[in-house]
């Protein structure tokens, strides 16, 4: 596409089918402790 | 409901598809085409774009075809089909997988802005005994189901004021993890005052993550981060932090600062951290009642927006110089990030994540500790207030009406329940000041990803 470049992102709709294992880190267990952000986390399904 | 979020930042035109999470970098023509797409016909768009940009009709039609192709692929203007699952999510059975272990409700610093009220959490000074901590770890294993990775954060107050217990608890956890099929991941959050060679050796061996509290410039740090006697901590802690990080051998750490109304120009503090040799950084807005003299104001917010952009540019410049650094809130994992369930359900406070006090009480998270209305049980009896747990299960990206139309809902999962409670009295409320800053940070973070991709548009 000439005018649009799409970054490689995990499709959230697709993740509905194979997500939810819960092995990922709990968000607040790192540096913030005072806000909620989840998008920086790594999916750890494969690492189980 | 807005299906996309489009914005211009740092010379980039960015379109985020909210439900799929797809990120598109586009040129000026495509930007205008996409923004007109939902409310105009093809003919209207062709006329509007050819007039505005001086491009050919064929050119615009091609762009429109591309938009439609992306739409068909489900990566642009995609419908949010997650909502029906939220009720199921709130009825799900949960296991506990993370714990904030308050090993010390006391502190050797007296930081006025501390949400933990100088480590005491509005209660008595106390240290956790080994027996209570051991029971907490057993409780975590017993309630973690099939979950393999278990996280424990040694927190306070200042956890190093109870370092012997921390060491013994880690030793205990390591001795039982294998037989239970678990793996403990430990974090230590410290103000640095008691770091010595023994702590460095232990932390770098056993802690997956170390959070080091420093507010940046000496005068900024020492405004709040003082000893009981009023001595600034900067000169004591900086050499200790430097030694610890140098010995860490690349293992994860964060230098974490707090900014307040007195230093909204927090990129200066980031710069100080960089100059001191630290490169995994986090700066957080102070959390406090709006009446406190150091509370961030509406005027500050405009300054902060500029600061977040400046920070992003600092990161780009340093990356080009081969001296990159990370900023916690700008770390986005676009291709290997969390699934939709995680994005909806958020931090897990009150459900998968609990805080344990020195006497073994359970609270939804560290920020609720000391608020007896939110006392959920203890490590012997377990959670006895199912009503509190259920309330937190319902906290998610779709539980607040303000989030329904917010493009960032799948990045914050509806926000921090404690912030919501503190600002509105309801864990399902909305802390709008925090939302505004959060959205700015995510815009910057996505822009950095676009910059990193070095696209040719």
Same domain, B264 and B313: yes
**Is cis: bond before B157, omega within 30 of 0?**
yes
Per-residue model confidence (pLDDT) at position A22: 86
The count of domains in chain B is: 2
Q: How far is the C-alpha of B36 from the C-alpha of B44, rounded, in Å?
A: 9
Per-residue model confidence (pLDDT) at position A48: 42
Per-residue model confidence (pLDDT) at position A19: 85
Per-residue model confidence (pLDDT) at position A13: 84
Q: How far is the C-alpha of B351 from the C-alpha of B390, rounded, in Å?
A: 8
Dihedrals φ, ψ of A42, to 5°? -95, 135
Task: Output the domain CATH number for residue B278.
Answer: 3.20.20.70
Same domain, B20 and B118: no
Query: Is the CB of residue A35 less than 8 Å away from at least one CB of chain B?
Result: yes
Per-residue model confidence (pLDDT) at position A14: 84
Q: Which of A1, A2, A8, A9 to mutate to test the interface with B (most CBs of B within 10 A)?
A: A9
Per-residue model confidence (pLDDT) at position A28: 75
Query: Is the CB of residue B289 less than 8 Å away from at least one CB of chain A?
Result: no
Same domain, B169 and B280: yes
Give the single-character DSSP code of A35. S
pLDDT, one tens digit per residue, over B434-455 is 999 999 999 999 999 999 998 7
Query: Is the CB of residue B181 less than 8 Å away from at least one CB of chain A?
Result: no
Residue B439 lies in a domain: no
Same domain, B145 and B22: no
Per-residue model confidence (pLDDT) at position B105: 97
The string of DSSP codes covering B180-229 is TT-EEEEEEEE-STT--HHHHHHHHHHEEEEEEE--SSHHHHHHH-B-TT
Per-residue model confidence (pLDDT) at position B85: 66
Residue B100 lies in a domain: yes
Nearest to A26 among B30, B151, B367 (CB): B151
Question: Ramachandran region of residue B125, left (φ > 0), alpha (ψ -120 to 50) or beta?
Answer: beta
ipTM of the complex: 0.92
Across the 457 residues of chain B, what is the mean pLDDT of every consecutive 10-residue run?
93 96 97 97 98 97 98 95 73 89 96 88 94 98 95 96 98 98 96 98 97 98 95 98 96 96 98 98 93 96 98 97 96 89 90 96 96 98 95 89 92 93 94 96 97 83
- Which of B 250-279 lie inside 8 A of A, CB atoms? 254, 256
Dihedrals φ, ψ of B406, to 5°? -95, 130
- Which of B 424-453 lie inside 8 A of A, CB atoms? 434, 438, 441-442, 445, 449-450, 453
Same domain, B67 and B110: no
Residue B449 lies in a domain: no
Residue range of the domain that includes B239: 94-330
The alpha carbon of residue A46 is apart from the nearest alpha carbon of chain B, in Å, by 11
User: Which H, E and C letters describe B395-454, residue by residue?
Assistant: CCCCCCHHHCCCCCHHHHCCCCHHHHHHHHCCCCCCCHHHHHHHHHHHHHHHHHHHHHCC
Interchain CB distance below 8 Å, A26 and B75: no
């Amino acid at each position: 596409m000439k005018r649009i470049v799409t970054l490689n992102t995990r499709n959230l709709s697709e993740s509905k089918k194979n997500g939810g294992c819960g092995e990922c880190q709990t968000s607040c267990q790192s540096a913030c402790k005072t806000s909620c952000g989840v998008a920086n986390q790594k999916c750890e399904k494969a690492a189980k | 409901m807005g299906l996309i979020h489009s914005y211009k930042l740092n010379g980039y035109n960015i379109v985020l598809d909210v439900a799929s999470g797809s990120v598109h970098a586009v040129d000026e023509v495509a930007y205008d085409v996409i923004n007109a797409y939902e409310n105009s016909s093809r003919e209207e768009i062709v006329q509007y774009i050819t007039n505005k940009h001086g491009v050919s009709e064929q050119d615009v039609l091609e762009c429109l075809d591309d938009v439609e192709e992306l739409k068909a692929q489900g990566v642009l203007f995609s419908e949010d089909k997650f909502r029906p699952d939220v009720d199921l999510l709130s009825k799900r059975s949960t296991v506990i997988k993370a714990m904030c272990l308050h090993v010390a409700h006391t502190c050797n610093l007296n930081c006025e802005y501390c949400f933990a009220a100088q480590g005491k959490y509005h209660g008595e000074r106390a240290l956790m005994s080994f027996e209570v901590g051991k029971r907490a770890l057993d409780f975590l294993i017993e309630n973690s189901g099939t979950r393999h990775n278990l996280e424990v954060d040694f927190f306070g107050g200042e956890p190093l004021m109870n370092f012997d217990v921390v060491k013994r608890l880690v030793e205990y956890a390591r001795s039982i993890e294998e037989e239970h099929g678990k793996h403990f991941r430990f974090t230590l959050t410290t103000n640095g005052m008691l770091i010595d060679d023994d702590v460095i050796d232990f932390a770098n061996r056993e802690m997956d993550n170390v959070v080091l509290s420093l507010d940046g410039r000496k005068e900024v740090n020492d405004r709040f981060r003082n000893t009981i006697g009023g001595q600034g901590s900067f000169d004591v802690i900086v050499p200790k932090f430097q030694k610890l990080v140098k010995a860490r051998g690349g293992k994860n750490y964060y230098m974490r600062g707090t900014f307040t109304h007195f230093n909204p120009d927090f990129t200066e503090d980031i710069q100080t951290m960089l100059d001191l040799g630290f490169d995994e950084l986090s700066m957080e807005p102070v959390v406090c009642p709006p009446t406190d003299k150091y509370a961030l104001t509406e005027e500050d917010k405009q300054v902060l927006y500029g600061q977040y952009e400046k920070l992003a540019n600092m990161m780009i410049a340093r990356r080009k110089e081969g001296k990159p650094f990370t900023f916690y809130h700008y770390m986005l994992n676009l291709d290997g990030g969390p699934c939709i369930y995680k994005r909806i359900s958020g931090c897990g406070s009150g459900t998968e994540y609990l805080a344990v006090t020195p006497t073994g009480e359970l609270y939804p998270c560290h920020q609720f500790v000391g608020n007896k209305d939110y006392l959920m049980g203890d490590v012997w009896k377990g959670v006895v207030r199912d009503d509190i747990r259920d309330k937190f299960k319902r906290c998610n990206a779709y539980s607040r009406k303000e989030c329904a139309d917010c493009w960032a809902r799948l990045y914050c999962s509806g926000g921090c329940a404690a912030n919501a409670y503190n600002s509105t009295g309801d864990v399902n409320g909305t802390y709008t000041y925090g939302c505004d800053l959060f959205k700015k940070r995510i815009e910057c973070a996505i822009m950095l990803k676009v910059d990193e991709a070095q696209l040719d548009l």
